[in-house]
Amino acid sequence: MSPRQNENSDLKIERAQVSGHAVLIVSGRMDAANAPRFEEECKDCIGEGYANLVADLAGLAYVSSMGLRSFLSVAKTLQSKGGSLRLCCLKGLVRQVFEITGLMQVLSIYESVESAIPRG
């Protein structure tokens, strides 16, 4: 697991595997400058054959509108392939942003990584 992080970026993305599913552990700040990195990491996973992705956002301290757009874009891509993007562990300001924007009802949100792992 090697984090992809640039010198000028506050976003850290690590990849783990839980029960055969790709879990992206996202921490730091997701804004216009680095949100495309999340999409690229997801595209890599999709290219490797993953149709369902779990994003653990416990360490995400800030998300901008571009970050939200990235989550929606990836979710739409996965949905078109019969899969889903499942977000979990939203906390503090990030959770508030999802609640205020109504994305809690639009995206698949879970309390823990374990509950976000697709069954069957």
Secondary structure of residue 119 in the 3-state scheme: coil
Residue at 44 is within a domain: yes
Q: Work out how many domains the chain is built from and give that number.
A: 1
Please report which confidence band the pLDDT of residue 20 belongs to, taking 50, 70 and 90 as the band edges. confident
Residue at 28 is within a domain: yes
CATH number, domain of 67, equals 3.30.750.24
Residue at 71 is within a domain: yes
Residue at 102 is within a domain: yes
Please report which confidence band the pLDDT of residue 34 belongs to, taking 50, 70 and 90 as the band edges. very high
Range of the domain at 63: 11-114
Residue at 92 is within a domain: yes
Average pLDDT taken over every residue of the chain: 92
H or E element, residue 13? strand 11-18
Dihedral sign of CA atoms 95, 53, 117, 10 in order: negative
Look up residue 7 and give its amino acid. Answer: E
Q: What is the mean pLDDT of residues 81-101?
A: 97
Contact 11, 38 (CB under 8 A): yes
Residue at 67 is within a domain: yes
In this predicted structure, what is the pLDDT of residue 7?
41
Residue at 2 is within a domain: no
Residue at 1 is within a domain: no
- Which residues partner with 15 through β-bridges? 24
Instruction: Kindly report the pTM of this predicted structure.
Output: 0.90
Which stretches of the chain are DSSP H helices?
35-47, 65-80, 92-101, 103-106, 113-116
